[in-house]
Structure formats: structure tokens, C-alpha cells
């Protein structure tokens, strides 16, 4: 089955202590789509301007990402620029130019509306909601978010959460949302907002899943070198949803393995700027790291 993914489609200019890369293909939907593409066909919903480089469209196509839902309109593509500190964990935004995103209204092609697996990757919660409203009967809907929306669009996010199956956020966002320092307690509070499955991402420390059957502690793949962590979280949810959409059995049967696949794709993402490393990955390389993670955690 295919995965429908809505989110940002952007150009990222990324500075790290070691290098500077302007106008890379970026955005939550781009990272999530490429990540998911290793497991399943992807239907992308997004918007770019006429300045969007043709090679990036070809990149999507090479990954069999359906672009019927990608609007190409007059104006400039969303552009984010940011800078990482030496430890590669802290980053600051240098500039955000919304461009064509300012007036984006996602409109789902007919062929998208019956998708069973829906990933509402990071984007304004009102847009995530708008996409969800156009779906017929999705089987499994997951939303990702970021601190910005907690700050400026919390009511929209809370409205959305009542209608999603899964919700993914990072540890600091979970603490901000619940005003609770302890993550086990924070998870309980987030369930009360609606989602049956809650995943807290903790970067290099992995992720924690909470379901009615309890917790799952998911490791991160240990990397010797982090080149650029931009998009790692998006790759994680993308890989997870891609795997889930093709796995036989129930969500509960497969979600743990799906998270491990997500971690693996996220680890590749961190090894290059933008999508450079992720796009070079093969399914075989993913399987190798999956098996390695199994070995690394066995006791």
C-alpha cells in the first residue's frame, strides 16, 4: 500500500562547523517521502515555486514519489536556513522565507483520497487537518509537529490530535506541551489529548513509543560521524510509515520494527547534507543496519 505524505517541500541552506551547503532539497515532506520510498510508493502533497530546481523533481521521481499532489506555482519555494553548533545538537534558524507556502491550501488529487496510510509530516496543524479532511477512510494516520506550532497554533494542533492515531514529537516539545518534566508522565498526558500511539523522539538517544500495551524503548543507530541531522526526525517517521504500510499484521504487531526501520533511515540521513546520504541508500543497506541494531540491543 502507498503512503500519503503532506508536509513542507523546501530549499534548505545549512551551515555546520565544517561546511556550508546552500539550497539543498529539504522540508519535512521531502525527507519523509524519500525515507518512506524504500518501503512503499509515496504520494506527496506539497507546494513549490517556479524556482524549484528541476533535478529535485527528478530526485523525487527516481524514488517513485507520486507528484500529482505537488503544486508548482508562481513565486518562490519555501527557504529555510540554519546553523548547527559544534556538538550538532543545537541549531538556530538564520532565516525563514515562506514564499509560496504563505498561501498554500493542500488539495488532494482524487487518486490520493483513498490512501490507507497518512503521514502528516511537520507543517502547520491547520494544513494537516485540511488534508485529513479530504481523506476517505485512512487506516492509520500519524502527525508530526514542531515547537513553532506549540507556540503559535496550539488550538489547531489540539483539534488535530483528537483525530490522529499516532503523534510524534521530540522530548522538549513533549515537555512543553504537557508542562511535565518526566517523559513517562508526559506520555500519559499526551494520550489524553487523543492519540492512541505516542512517540517521543530523543535524537541520538533514540525514541520511546507509548501504546495501551505499554512502552517500547527504541535505540538510535550509533553513528561515528554526524554530518547534518536536518531531516533526521522526518526520515524517522517517513521510514516508519513506509514500513508499516507494507507490513502484514496489525499496527501493534509491526510498530516496533517500523520504528527501528525509521531509526535506520534517520541514521543514514545524518551522514550527509540534506538528502545526499539518504538518496544513496539501498534497501539492503537498511536491512544490514536493522540487523545490527538487533545485535546492539540484545541481552
Nearest residue (CB) to a copy of itself, 121 versus 237? 237
Nearest residue (CB) to a copy of itself, 175 versus 196? 175
> What residue has cell string 540487523?
291
Q: How far is the CB of 217 from a copy of itself (least distance, A)?
A: 5
> What residue has cell string 518562490?
76
> What whole-number distance in Å separates Cα of residue 293 and Cα of residue 276?
23
Q: How far is the CB of 184 from a copy of itself (least distance, A)?
A: 5
Nearest residue (CB) to a copy of itself, 53 versus 222? 222
- Residue 37, classed as helix, strand or coil, is helix
Strand order in the sheet with 65-73: 65-73, 42-49, 3-6, 117-120, 140-144, 166-170, 197-201, 207-211, 214-218
Nearest residue (CB) to a copy of itself, 145 versus 208? 208
> What residue has cell string 506550532?
149
Cβ pair 115, 135 in contact under 8 A: yes
Residues that bind a copy of itself (CB under 8 A): 86-88, 181-185, 202, 204-206, 208, 214-219, 222-226, 256-257, 259-260, 294-299
End-to-end CA distance of the chain: 35
Nearest residue (CB) to a copy of itself, 29 versus 220? 220
Cβ pair 259, 221 in contact under 8 A: no
Nearest residue (CB) to a copy of itself, 110 versus 181? 181
Q: How far is the CB of 187 from a copy of itself (least distance, A)?
A: 9
Phi/psi-derived region of residue 266, left when phi > 0, alpha when psi is between -120 and 50, beta in every other case: alpha
Q: What's the grid cell of residue 108?
A: 488532494
H-only helix segments in the chain = 28-37, 54-62, 125-133, 147-152, 154-161, 171-178, 183-191, 232-246, 251-270, 283-297
Q: How far is the CB of 239 from a copy of itself (least distance, A)?
A: 14
Nearest residue (CB) to a copy of itself, 52 versus 261? 261
> What whole-number distance in Å separates Cα of residue 30 and Cα of residue 11?
10
Kindly compute the dihedral angle of the four CA atoms of residues 197, 202, 207, 209, in this order, to the nearest 10 degrees: -20
Amino acid at each position: 500500500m502507498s503512503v500519503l505524505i503532506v508536509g513542507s517541500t523546501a530549499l534548505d541552506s545549512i551551515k555546520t562547523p565544517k561546511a556550508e551547503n546552500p539550497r539543498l532539497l529539504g522540508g519535512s515532506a521531502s525527507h519523509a517521502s524519500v525515507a518512506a520510498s524504500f518501503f512503499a510508493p509515496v504520494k506527496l502533497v506539497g507546494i513549490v515555486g517556479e524556482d524549484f530546481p528541476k533535478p529535485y523533481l527528478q530526485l523525487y521521481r527516481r524514488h517513485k514519489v507520486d507528484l500529482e499532489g505537488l503544486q508548482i506555482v508562481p513565486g518562490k519555494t519555501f527557504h529555510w536556513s540554519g546553523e548547527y553548533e559544534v556538538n550538532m545538537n543545537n541549531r538556530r534558524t538564520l532565516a525563514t522565507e515562506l514564499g509560496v507556502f504563505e498561501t498554500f491550501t493542500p488539495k488532494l488529487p482524487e487518486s490520493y483520497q483513498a490512501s490507507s496510510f497518512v503521514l502528516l509530516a511537520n507543517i502547520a496543524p491547520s494544513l494537516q487537518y485540511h488534508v485529513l479532511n479530504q481523506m476517505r477512510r485512512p487506516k492509520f494516520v500519524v502527525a508530526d509537529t514542531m515547537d513553532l506550532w506549540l507556540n503559535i497554533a496550539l488550538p489547531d494542533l489540539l483539534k488535530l490530535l483528537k483525530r490522529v492515531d499516532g503523534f510524534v514529537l521530540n522530548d522538549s516539545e513533549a515537555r512543553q506541551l504537557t508542562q511535565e518534566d518526566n517523559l513517562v508522565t508526559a506520555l500519559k498526558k499526551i494520550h489524553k489529548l487523543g492519540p492512541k500511539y505516542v512517540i517521543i523522539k530523543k535524537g541520538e538517544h533514540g525514541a520511546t513509543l507509548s501504546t495501551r500495551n505499554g512502552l517500547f524503548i527504541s535505540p538510535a543507530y550509533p553513528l561515528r560521524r554526524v554530518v547534518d541531522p536536518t531531516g533526521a526526525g522526518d526520515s524517522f517517521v517517513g521510514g516508519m510509515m513506509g514500513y508499516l504500510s507494507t507490513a502484514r499484521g496489525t499496527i501493534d504487531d509491526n510498530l516496533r520494527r517500523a520504528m527501528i526501520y525509521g531509526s535506520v533511515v534517520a541514521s543514514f540521513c545524518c551522514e550527509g547534507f540534506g538528502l545526499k546520504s539518504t538518496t544513496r541508500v539501498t534497501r539492503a543497506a537498511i536491512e544490514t543496519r536493522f540487523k545490527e541494531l538487533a545485535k546492539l540491543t540484545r541481552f
